[in-house]
Amino acid sequence: MSERVLVTGALGCVGAWAVKAILDDGDEPVGYDLGDADHRLRLVLSPEERESLTLVRGDITDADALGRVLDDERITRVVHLAALQVPFCRENPALGARVNVVGTVNVFEAVGARLDRIPGVAYASSAAVYGPADPSPAPESGGLAPGTIYGVYKLANEGTARLYAAESAVPSVGIRPYVVYGPGRDQGMTAGPTLAMEAAARGEGFAIAYGGAAQYDYAPDVGRAFVRAAAHADGAVVANFPGVRAPMAEVVAAIEAAAPEAAGQISFADTPLPFPAELETGALERALGPLPATPLADGVRATIERFRAG
Ligand SMILES: NC(=O)c1ccc[n+]([C@@H]2O[C@H](COP(=O)([O-])OP(=O)(O)OC[C@H]3O[C@@H](n4cnc5c(N)ncnc54)[C@H](O)[C@@H]3O)[C@@H](O)[C@H]2O)c1
């Protein structure tokens, strides 16, 4: 029997790729999202695939509505991605806390009441749990002094998960992506490299607002990892995403190799991100087994091709 997988934040970048992974598995995705912008779904899914997605408009801060969708749609797996990203939390910290912190508590409460049917919660934490003072490579057990309020909220999600496992036996896997890139990545502090790929696909230049080295996580691989994590039912795993470490010059070189017409037109600032350049990884694959790991050059080329195809 196929699984019915709820994806909160299904209209977002990672959400669209999680929906794609669910469909590729032959399972049934149900999206739960506040928004109505379906441009990422149109970029990622074929028209037939979009037909197979049930979309429920709803707010993650509304615990009753969330519980209703779990029951009405007979949900058997949960991938929780709905969140406000760094700039939005900075602009409106109270709303950020409601969505990112209270919303995640709602997911754990709702799943905890339905453990007979749903094995646990896969949820998005972030490399933003680290701060600029953390060492690089940053130990996977670290991430206790975030440099942004968004990171503080993500750290609260990890604490929530730990206590729901200890006190209410709700298993979870929290994945900490770093810079997600790929089709659909068009908002947030680290969207610059993907926006540069989109510009390059049109033969245009782009100025990326940060530099330094970071880890780059290909959105289809990230979506796949979350879907795998939703079937895991043991403890409270928190893991960095095993992406590719690269300095920005290497990212730009990969863009120029895939779109030579944009050569010399992609620039970047010197300022590094307020996170360690490199993160220790291993916990995710120890919990879930081997995961797809697309090399940077291949991910950048595929992204530019997707943008060219429209
Ligand atoms: N993109 C990255 O580089 C990155 C890195 C680390 C962690 N993350 C985390 O991964 C998750 C997915 O990221 P993304 O890039 O797909 O984000 P995104 O901004 O593209 O999508 C987030 C989605 O959540 C929805 N949403 C916002 N508030 C909501 C609410 N109150 N109720 C229901 N839906 C709501 C939005 O409408 C949007 O479709 C997020 O939790 C994000 O914090 C992302």
Q: 180, 189, 217, 275: which to mutate for ligand 1, most atoms within 8 A of CB? A: 180
Q: Ligand 1 centroid to 61 CA: how many Å?
A: 14
Whether 175 lines ligand 1, by a CB cut-off of 6 Å, is no
Q: 56, 61, 85: which to mutate for ligand 1, most atoms within 8 A of CB? A: 85
Whether 57 lines ligand 1, by a CB cut-off of 6 Å, is no
pLDDT score recorded for residue 206 = 98
Give the position, in ligand 1's atom list, of the atom nearest the Cα of 10: 39
| Residue 268 buriedness (CB in 10 A; 0-12 / 13-18 / 19+) | buried
Whether 240 lines ligand 1, by a CB cut-off of 6 Å, is no
Q: Ligand 1 centroid to 80 CA: how many Å?
A: 9
Closest-CA residue, ligand 1 atom 20, reads 12
Q: How far apart are CA 206 and CA 198, in angstroms?
A: 9
pLDDT score recorded for residue 310 = 77
Closest-CA residue, ligand 1 atom 34, reads 33
Q: Ligand 1 centroid to 9 CA: how many Å?
A: 6
* Residues of the chain predicted below pLDDT 70: none
Q: Ligand 1 centroid to 124 CA: how many Å?
A: 8
pLDDT score recorded for residue 272 = 95
pTM of structure: 0.98
Give the position, in ligand 1's atom list, of the atom nearest the Cα of 177: 6
The mean of the pLDDT values for the chain is 97
Whether 59 lines ligand 1, by a CB cut-off of 6 Å, is yes
Neighbour-count burial for 185-212, b at 16+ CB within 10 Å, e otherwise: bebbbbbbbbbbbbbbbeeeebebebbe
Neighbour-count burial for 226-262, b at 16+ CB within 10 Å, e otherwise: bbbbbbbeebbbbbbbbbbbbebebbbbbbbebbeeb
